[in-house]
Amino acid sequence: MVERLKQIPSQIMTMWKELSKKQKVLIISVVAAVFLTLLVLYFILSRVEYTTLYKFEDTKSASETVNLLKENNIDCRLESDNLTVSVNSKSYEDAVVVMGTNDIPATGMSWDKALNNSLSTSQTEKDQKINLAFQNDIRSNLIKLDYVKDAAVYIKRTASDKTVFDDEVETSVSVMLTLKEAISAETANGIAKMLAGAVGNATTEKITIVDSTGNVLFAGDEEDTLGGSIHSAAEYKEKLRNTFRKNVKEILLACDYDDVEVSGENLQFNMDKITEMSKEYTAAEGQEQGLYDSSYEYKATGNNAVAGVPGTDSNDESVDYEIDTNGTSNSEVILNKYDYLPNEKVKNIDYEIGAVDTSKSSIGVVLTKYHIYNQKTAEEDGTLGDLSWKQFIEQNNRRKQIELEDGILNLISQVTGVSENKIAVTVWEQPIFNDTVKAERGYTNVVMIVLIILIIALLAFVVIRSMAPVQVTETEPELSVEELLATTKEGQELDDIEITEKSETRRLIEKFVDENPEAVAQLLRNWLNDDWG
């Protein structure tokens, strides 16, 4: 084997030397043309085609976008103007999705770009692009509002499960607003309704709106209950009433009731505003005595001495009359007054009590339990008796009042704080009739069944026909000129032997000539052509 391989170059050289100059030029030209063709094809197929993604207003945004795309393993380049970003055409859809997710540029995804798709674009990418364009469209409309400076919109659609319940699933929308000025709860509620209508939601339950400082302007899941922002006493009362109803309804539904209605119209609220003022005095540090509001001390002392009795009374002794003084006296007055300045702490507290006044409130509750009748079950267990299903429905289609279960009234009282004598509860039993579902065979089903039967019959016919015995008809071989002459020669020999009687072979030949003169003429022409050719 190795020796044969070694002989190949020498054999090729020998063959090459045997070729003429013209043949050598032709071979070289063909090889060169094939090589150049392969080279051009490789260059065309391996060349990266770049498509302009976006032209930015500043180089900083362009460079940040390039870095972001490279982080996501997307082939891109910055053009010579340092403003235009181009990406590999095969990665264009991925680049658009990355830019839209990161809110680049500020204008967001346009509908033209969202609807401009190639055959390689998957359905998931198409949905993402449409969702980004929709977010940008809503954002643009929000910015048009006088009090909104900027907005960020995020829409999350629930994946479809291809069932009839798809229409009941609502889309979640989260919005962050950069406000020029504060807005009221009514304004936020109006924005929420606009967003719900834009995404096709029947309610605002899945809508959330916050401002740039994190304050909740609207929370759909807290719209009716105590949550979100409250701007007036009337709004607070309404939300408190709804919370009251919700608590009662949830606890009763947990008791296997199918429907619960709670009336809160007679709920009384205590919205009194109380102002409380308190003063707190503390003794100075190191002081042992108690605190004085005021302190006053007064002390007076005096002493008097009596002299001789004035007048005409006789005196035993000689009397000296002193004019200047009549006696001696002294007195002392002590006055102590203290005014302390203790430390003082003053509190002014305003209370606004917003609560249900259970002592003055009363509520009404209507409970409903469903009694389900299935036609098939009713027919099997004898519930219908001698009645037809239609007659049974006519006799039992009215709801009836039933007794309240023990403990339910006390349960409501414990949940609400309202005394049992101020709670009215009515319980109804509502009949539900389920007819037996019969599969309806429409025109389409009938046509399909007929077609299936025809196809099966056709296949059976083909199989049976193919299994039947086939009658083989043998055809006489066509006689050539040589065979015909040989047969004629044999006939002549037979004529010599049997002069008076024609042979069977001769009769056959004559019969063949009489019946097929054109075939005999054709054979003769072929024979003549062969001889002269």
- Sequence spans of domains, the chain: 49-106, 109-160+168-223, 226-281+331-437
User: Which of 25-39, 183-197, 275-289 shows the lowest per-residue confidence on average (mean pLDDT)?
Assistant: 275-289
Q: Are domains 109-160+168-223 and 226-281+331-437 of this chain identical in fold?
A: yes
- Assigned CATH class of 49-106: alpha beta
pLDDT tens profile 399-457: 899 998 889 999 999 888 888 899 999 999 999 888 876 655 555 667 677 777 877 77
For 202-225, what is the mean pLDDT?
78
Query: So what's the pLDDT on residue 426?
Result: 92
Tell me the β-bridge partners of 282.
343
Q: Which pLDDT band, with edges at 50, 70 and 90, does 272 fall under?
A: low
Query: Which CATH fold topology does 226-281+331-437 show?
Result: GMP Synthetase; Chain A, domain 3 (3.30.300)
Contact residues for 48 (Cβ-Cβ < 8 A; gap 6+)? 75, 88
Residues 136, 143: contact at Cβ < 8 Å? no
pLDDT for residue 500 is more than 50: no
pTM value is: 0.38
Q: Hey, CA dihedral for 76, 77, 81, 83, is it positive or negative?
A: positive
For 227-255, what is the mean pLDDT?
76
For 49-78, what is the mean pLDDT?
84
Percent of all residues in the chain with a pLDDT value above 70, rounded to a whole number: 62
- Angle in degrees, CA 297, 335, 303, rounded to 5: 110
User: Which of 183-192, 325-334, 362-371, 407-416 shows the lowest per-residue confidence on average (mean pLDDT)?
Assistant: 325-334
For 466-484, what is the mean pLDDT?
53
Query: So what's the pLDDT on residue 165?
Result: 45
**Second-level CATH architecture of 109-160+168-223:** 2-Layer Sandwich (3.30)
pLDDT tens profile 7-21: 777 777 887 777 788
User: Which of 152-156, 412-416, 503-507 shows the lowest per-residue confidence on average (mean pLDDT)?
Assistant: 503-507
Mean pLDDT estimate for the chain: 73
Q: At what angle do helices 408-416 and 233-253 cross, to 10 degrees?
A: 150
